[in-house]
Chains A and B, each alone.
Chain A
Amino acid sequence: MTETALQWLPVYGLPVLVLIIGLGCLGAPAPASLTLLISGSLIASGDFEAVPVYLTSLLAAIVFDHLGYSLGRWGGPYLQRRRIPLMDRARYTLEERGGAAVFLTRWLLAPLGPGVNYVAGAVAMPMRQFTPYDIAGEVVWVTAYLGLGYVFGTYVSLIAETLGNATGFLAFGVLAWLLWRFIRHDTRP
């Protein structure tokens, strides 16, 4: 499925790029990082132009992150009424370290990115805090993945798999650690 979708990337270019990145930012299982690596290698082979690809990827990531944030913000009051202690914990964590959480989940802990977008909106993290860290994180993500694709074009599938597994391992490790702290804190009398 992924492979057939990606064969349209060189053919239709930017719209396919926007679609895959957008779906990825909203949490759908779309291969956004792989797509960026491939785009980088297609810049190197002369099939794509660097500036439009870079700007489009960056803009798409930022816009769709904010869409996720807005959806969370819209659904937030409903969750608020249900008095979920995990949500209180998430709000507390985001108030304390929200900037770092948003920044790192754009690239280093990428699998948690969509979830952080929704939760940041749901707990009404101020946009003046969300937006700058989101932009900074997406600049790192887009630059790193396009750059790696450009430089190591022939090893795109190897890099995509390795980075995907490494960020997955890190992201769920951090999530497990946060949940463990929450449970320990919560069960203490």
Chain B
Amino acid sequence: MGRFGKNRERNRRAARWLLGLSLAAMVFFAVRLAADMVYWNDPRHHDQQLEPWMTVGYVARSWDIDRRSLREALELGPAPDHKSSLGQLAHDRNMEFDAYAEDVMQTILQEKAVAE
């Protein structure tokens, strides 16, 4: 077996390995896709969670509440921290994100109750 033959054999083995990895990745994504379908089909999982990247404007729009009154309820000034995210607001307050998110969620529910 010459140099080329040896190369060829090694290459064939590499191709088989890559094929195995690709098939494994395919199965992985198929399983996740199916698991997501099951998860999102359950109406209990339709309420959306607060995420660190969300802005106050985004929260107001998603939960359908007035942006200005939400800002006031969260004790935020009008202009300077316009583009701050919930993650950064928690960071500024030296709070864990989850704890801050719980506070924000309480405020959202209060705002919604007032609006109704």
Contact = CB atoms under 8 A, between A and B. Distances in A.
Interface of A: 3-4, 6-11, 13, 38, 41-42, 44-47, 82-86, 153-155, 157-158, 161-162, 165-166, 168-169, 172-173, 175-176, 179-180, 182-183, 186-187
B33 A47 contact: no
Contacts of B58: 41-42, 45, 47, 153
A162 B36 contact: yes
Interface residues of B, number: 41
B26 A169 contact: yes
A67 to B, nearest CB: 25
Main secondary structure on A side of the interface with B:
helix
Contacts of B107: none
A11 B85 contact: yes
Contact of A38 (B33, B53, B62): B53
17 contacts: A3-B51, A6-B87, A11-B83, A42-B57, A83-B4, A84-B7, A161-B36, A165-B30, A165-B32, A166-B29, A169-B26, A169-B30, A172-B26, A176-B19, A182-B15, A183-B15, A186-B8
A162 B63 CA distance: 23
A48 to B, nearest CB: 9
Contacts of A11: 83-85, 88
Given A176-B19, A183-B16, A45 B55 contact: yes
B14 interface: yes
B86 A7 contact: yes
B25 interface: yes
Given A84-B7, A157-B51, A161-B36, A4 B12 contact: no
